[in-house]
Structure formats: C-alpha cells, structure tokens
Homo-oligomer: A and B are copies of this chain.
Amino acid sequence: RLLLEPALTEPQCRAGIVLIDLHSIDTRIKASGLKLQLCTNETQATRESFVRKLRALGFDIAVAQVTAPAPAACHLLRERGLRPHLLVHDDLVPEFAEIDKTNPNCVVLGDAAENFTYANLNEAFRLLIGMEKPVLISLGKGRYYKETDGLKLDVGAYMKALEYACDIQAEVVGKPSKRFFESALAELGVPPEQAIMIGDDIVNDVGGAQQCGMRALQVRTGKFRPSDENHPEVKPDAYVNNLAEAVDIILQEL
C-alpha cells in the first residue's frame, strides 16, 4: 500500500507559511514503509525546483517521486514524434531540454503567466492554424488560482481561447487525466486498489484518482469549499481536516 500525495504542501509553500509540520509527517510516512508519490499539476517550475522548495520545508523527497505534467508531456511528445512550440513559464523550459523543438508540429501550453502576452498567444495560434491537423497539448486545464497578489487566470482559460480560435480540442496532460494517474502508479509499481490519493481538489484530485480505481480522501484545506461536500458527481471516500489527519488515518489503517 502506498500514499499518493498532491500539491497539498503547496499552499504552505506559496504563502511562505508552514501550516503543518511537514517534516514530522515525512518522518512518520518513512517509518511506516508507505511509498509516496507527489502528483502535481504545477507547471511554473521544474520538478527540481519543486523538490528544493519542499526540502526547505522539511519534506525530504526525490525528483522521481514527483509526477508532473511537463515530464508526462515529454513522454507523449517522444512517443508520437512531436516537436513542440512551447508557450510555458520560463522556469519550466529546462524540463524540455532534451526535446527537439525545431520546425514545430504541435504547441505545448502551460501556465505561462507573464509569458501570456498578446504576441505570444497570436504566435501559438498562427502555428496551430497553419497545421494540417493542429495538435495542442495543454499542461492542465485549471480555471484560475490564487497568488499573494490576487487571482490569476490559469492555463485552462488560455487553452479554451486557442481551442475556440482553431476549432480543436486540446489534449490535456495532468490531473484529472487517467493516463497521468496511471503513470504515477507505474512509478510506484502498485495497482490502483492499493493506492490512496490525498487531495484538496474535488474534481482533479479526488474524481481523477477514483476514476482510475484508487480511493481518495479530500482535505478541507486549500481549494476545498464547503459546497464540495454536495458535489453532483464526485464523492470522496472520506474527508479529513488536513494533511496530518489524513496521514494519521492511513497509518492507523495499516
């Protein structure tokens, strides 16, 4: 049995405040023998820098323990011989270092933040509309997220803009895609019924994991909203108040 763990530590990182003692959680998970994989839709940084942030917070994980959209996209690009034009955050570019980007035959869209300029969006659009069969790969389909200086449009909004302009459907890499959860399971080497997802996002974390055959706990922090408890389609296997409580419950069950 193992524990899949999403970007639940992220709100703490972003706000710069550690709300939960990640180090003690990490220690307890390690002592229990549970395997841990972080399953994140983060596309504003490489896994390396993500891992550095978590280590600074006392959460000792390796790069291979992070399942993230960019490496998943690289896998897909190689598999299909695609050469991407990247419209992503500058800090994510290193993830694509070994991918051939000459003469692009697809567009990879991430949360490009300040790189979402009028010129860059037009450029991505022109490349797509010029392709015989436009291929748009989107690293997630989030609507928006919160930063210290306010709400920001997420990659999903820009994906919709390009989809509409080109009359196409993007291929979404990242949660809640089944393929994405499967690659996290493959990394751990366990079948879905032996895995538990802990997440704050009712659709992307809980719904996605359950569709893949895993059980999933929803944490009442971060993106959680009280209305999630009446979600018309997704019902978590259990609710917990925070990550520490989730770990408590799982360790008790062992």
Chain A residues proximal to chain B, CB less than 8 Å: 113-114, 116-118, 121-122, 125-126, 129, 143-144, 150-154, 156-158, 160-167
Contact = CB atoms under 8 A, between A and B. Distances in A.
A203 to B, nearest CB: 12
A160 B158 CA distance: 9
Contact of A160 (B116, B129, B161): B161
A122 B153 CA distance: 6
A169 to B, nearest CB: 13
Contacts of A158: 161
Q: Chain copies in the assembly? A: 2
Given A122-B153, A129-B151, A153-B165, 9 more contacts: A116-B118, A117-B117, A122-B152, A125-B144, A125-B153, A143-B166, A143-B167, A154-B165, A160-B161
Contact of A122 (B121, B151, B156): B151
Contact of A129 (B113, B144, B161): B144
A122 B150 contact: yes
20 contacts: A113-B118, A116-B118, A116-B121, A118-B153, A122-B152, A122-B153, A125-B144, A125-B151, A129-B144, A143-B164, A143-B167, A144-B165, A153-B161, A153-B165, A154-B165, A156-B165, A157-B161, A158-B161, A160-B164, A161-B161
